[in-house]
Amino acid sequence: MCGIIGYIGEEKAAPRIIYGLKKLEYRGYDSAGIALIDSGKIERFRAKGRISNLEEKIKREPLKGVIGIGHTRWATHGKPNEENAHPHLDCTGRITIIHNGIIENYFEIKEELKRKKHKFTSETDTEIFAHLIEEYLSEGFEKAVETALKRIRGMYAMVILCADEPDRIIAARQGSPLVIGIGRGENYIASDVPSFLKFTNRAMFLEDGDMAVITRDKVTVKNRGKKVSRQVRNIKWSADQAEKSGYAHFMMKEISEQAQAFEDTILGRFNESRGEIKFEHVDAKELKKIKKIKIVACGTSYHAAYAAKYLIEKYAAVSVEVDVASELRYSNPVVDKETLLLAVSQSGETIDTIEAFKSLKQKAGYSIAIVNVVGSTLSRMLHGVIYTHAGPEIGVAATKSFMSQLAALYLFALYIGRIKGKLDAKFVRRGIQNLRKIPGLIRIQMKEKRSIERLAGKYSKKRDFLYYGRNISYPMALEGALKLKEISYIHAEGYAAGEMKHGPIALVDDRVPNVFIAPKNALYEKIVSNIQEIKARSGTIIAITNRSNKEMKKFADDIIYIPDIDEDYYPLLEAVPLQLLAYYIGVKKGIDVDKPRNLAKSVTVE
Ligand code: M6R
């Protein structure tokens, strides 16, 4: 995720901004930039790659400005190059902006501004906001930002400078974090505390809908036009804690960021009232010709892909095969011009997935990569690409990237269902409504995480776990087991619950907990039978079911409740407790959950 830093004070701004950007490096980025106001003019420098490339550019410049902004960009809209790097400017070069998040309706606004003869120099959604402010600048800087904000939809953290009013920074937050560092005779604005913690530990966190005007010695905050006061907190974090926003581990930080990752992945890709879904880099005409889909992935990405199989077959009536890339690359699959190949990968660099596609891509009719890292090998290799907007994931265990893959795949299943003429707009609208509910429900789940921590305490000494699910909850059982073994080193297996009688039932005793994913759906009765079979043999049951299901108390030793939702959408809520259970068990066992032994974040060798 991009990093934001702004400074206003008496010191030269450039060194403070470069320092702040370096402290935000851990978030991951592919370009960096800085803009200052000096002698009534904006000076801007940007560079692809490391911050050191940016430093190289500004080293010979006498940068005297005492107000400025800086940004590290993790590409989402447009390639990771200098043109797309922030800060962006308007046509006159008097307004400059940095931004995190997504402006959902940027395309419409860009078209409108083009008609008014605005010239754009980047592929980003961000740049349109500088031009939009320019349109209203005769109202004054502050008013112009207020008016422009009313025009946009989406998730953002924006920080803006205007050369005409060099005594202020304006910042706005909707969905993406922003925090003001309150100093003496100087103030900071940043996406995260570490960027200014060395200079001040007094922080004011902005809330959604806030717009702040920051001068050297004053901060004024309005929320949707009304003046509000926001508490100033003393931050007691160490530098290391600050990078993790106060969380003990990146893994927990990333689990907590899932609601956001989900939102960022779906936003801008649908029109709810029309029941329409669109993907920028996917050719719908090609998809119309498709008769079979083959999805290829590894590890957690494979589990996301597996869940998609159930959805796509149900919504589009197209046959879907899901393959583990390491197996597929040495087999002879039937792929022809009526086959769509889908690669699912967080990193886009997993060697097995890349190699599997090298030989298959030519044979297929069309191919799409669903990846998180913009510009990664897979994102460039296939015909189309759908980016998941999870931001950088630092913990080795995939969590928020899984959630964002599911977000993209749920949308894709609805999309292809519509393209194939199997779904009507009403059904897709209902699907979009369900997807829109998910971030809020995940946030509620996170508030209840302590109950899962208690459960983890009860089971952390066990040596084996079995996970069971049916239908679309089966891949969640696979993922729950994978998460547990990765970060707690406890042996765990995931099974389709219907397979229980074909083998794993032999393992039932009072030492092996059985985690059953059992929401009230069409197959609920069947899974309850499986649970009863284990209970009858004195096995231990941990059930994950929906809150309104009161009868589970009769069968399970422990229950993790998830919110009620339309049944196809339960997996999105099952993932969170499964991750939390694994996390807390790993932590209780004293394992470094961010870097579990023997595992690499990206598997680039066979
Ligand atoms: O980058 P990718 O999604 O292609 O990576 C695939 C797997 O290596 C990855 O999901 C791995 O299984 C994780 N450690 C799971 O937590």
323 CA → ligand 1 middle, Å: 14
Residue 520 in this model has a pLDDT that exceeds 90: yes
Distance between CA atoms of 377 and 603, rounded to whole angstroms?
A: 13
pLDDT per residue as tens digits for the range 156-179: 999 999 999 999 999 999 978 899
Domain count, the chain: 3
Under 8 Å between Cβ of 240 and 249: no
Mean pLDDT for 295-302 is: 98
Identify the band that residue 1 occupies on the pLDDT scale cut at 50, 70 and 90. low
Same domain for 148 and 289: no
Residue 316 in this model has a pLDDT that exceeds 80: yes
The first and second tokens of residue 501, run together, are 């009688």
398 CA → ligand 1 middle, Å: 6
Distance between CA atoms of 310 and 40, rounded to whole angstroms?
A: 59
The first and second tokens of residue 420, run together, are 């194939």
Q: What is the pLDDT of residue 391?
A: 81
Q: Is the residue at 588 inside a domain?
A: yes
109 CA → ligand 1 middle, Å: 37
Amino acid at 344: V
Q: Is the residue at 529 inside a domain?
A: yes
Please give the number of the atom of ligand 1 that sits closest to the Cα of 397: 16
The first and second tokens of residue 52, run together, are 């050191």
- DSSP assigned state of 24: T
Identify the band that residue 393 occupies on the pLDDT scale cut at 50, 70 and 90. confident
Residue 77 in this model has a pLDDT that exceeds 80: no
Same domain for 79 and 20: yes
Same domain for 454 and 437: no
320 CA → ligand 1 middle, Å: 21
Q: Is the residue at 604 inside a domain?
A: no
Q: Tell whether omega for the bond before 15 is within 30 degrees of 0, i.e. cis.
A: no
Identify the band that residue 76 occupies on the pLDDT scale cut at 50, 70 and 90. confident
Mean pLDDT for 501-512 is: 93
Query: Among 399, 357, 402, which Cα is nearest to 376's?
Result: 357
Q: Is 91 a catalytic residue?
A: no
The crossing angle, in degrees rounded to 10, of helices 141-151 and 127-136 is 120
Same domain for 133 and 91: yes
The first and second tokens of residue 500, run together, are 């229980």
Same domain for 320 and 205: no
Q: Is the residue at 606 inside a domain?
A: no
Q: What share of the chain in percent tops pLDDT 90?
A: 82
Mean pLDDT for 561-578 is: 98
440 CA → ligand 1 middle, Å: 26
Query: Among 497, 492, 481, which Cα is nearest to 530's?
Result: 497
Q: Is the residue at 288 inside a domain?
A: yes
Nearest residue (CA) to ligand 1, atom 11? 299
Range of the domain at 527: 450-593
Q: Which of 241, 262, 296 is the last residue of a domain?
A: 241
Same domain for 131 and 193: yes
CB atoms within 10 A of CB 480: 28
Q: What is the pLDDT of residue 223?
A: 95
Same domain for 361 and 231: no
Q: Is the residue at 605 inside a domain?
A: no
Same domain for 410 and 486: no
How far is C-alpha 445 from the chain's CA centre? 17
Mean pLDDT for 184-188 is: 97
Query: Among 102, 497, 26, 52, which Cα is nearest to 261's?
Result: 102
Distance between CA atoms of 513 and 552, rounded to whole angstroms?
A: 16
Same domain for 314 and 187: no
Identify the band that residue 139 occupies on the pLDDT scale cut at 50, 70 and 90. very high
pLDDT per residue as tens digits for the range 413-472: 999 999 999 999 999 999 999 999 999 999 999 999 999 999 999 999 999 999 999 999
Q: Is the residue at 600 inside a domain?
A: no
Query: Among 447, 441, 434, 13, which Cα is nearest to 189's?
Result: 13
Residue 349 in this model has a pLDDT that exceeds 90: no
Burial class (CB in 10 A: 0-12, 13-18, 19+), 567: middle
Mean pLDDT for 27-56 is: 92
Nearest residue (CA) to ligand 1, atom 4? 345
pLDDT per residue as tens digits for the range 464-498: 999 999 999 999 999 999 999 999 999 999 999 99
Q: Which of 225, 241, 257 is the last residue of a domain?
A: 241
Q: Is the residue at 603 inside a domain?
A: no
Same domain for 267 and 231: no
Q: Is 162 a catalytic residue?
A: no
Q: What is the pLDDT of residue 192?
A: 82
Mean pLDDT for 131-153 is: 97
Find the CATH number of the domain harbouring 82. Answer: 3.60.20.10
Nearest residue (CA) to ligand 1, atom 14? 397
- Residue carrying the six token digits 């940007």: 46
237 or 314, greater pLDDT:
314
Q: Which of 426, 447, 468 is the last residue of a domain?
A: 447
Find the CATH number of the domain harbouring 283. Answer: 3.40.50.10490
Q: Which of 222, 363, 588, 601 is catalytic?
A: 601
Residue 10 in this model has a pLDDT that exceeds 90: yes
Q: Which of 2, 22, 400, 520 is catalytic?
A: 2
Please give the number of the atom of ligand 1 that sits closest to the Cα of 401: 3
Q: What is the pLDDT of residue 239?
A: 66
Same domain for 143 and 122: yes
Nearest residue (CA) to ligand 1, atom 7? 299
Same domain for 441 and 476: no
How far is C-alpha 441 from the chain's CA centre? 16
298 CA → ligand 1 middle, Å: 6
Ligand 1 binding pocket, CB closer than 6 Å: 298-301, 345-347, 350, 353, 396-398, 486, 599, 602-603
Most ligand 1 atoms within 8 A of CB, residue of 251, 347, 378 to mutate: 347
Q: What is the pLDDT of residue 24?
A: 83
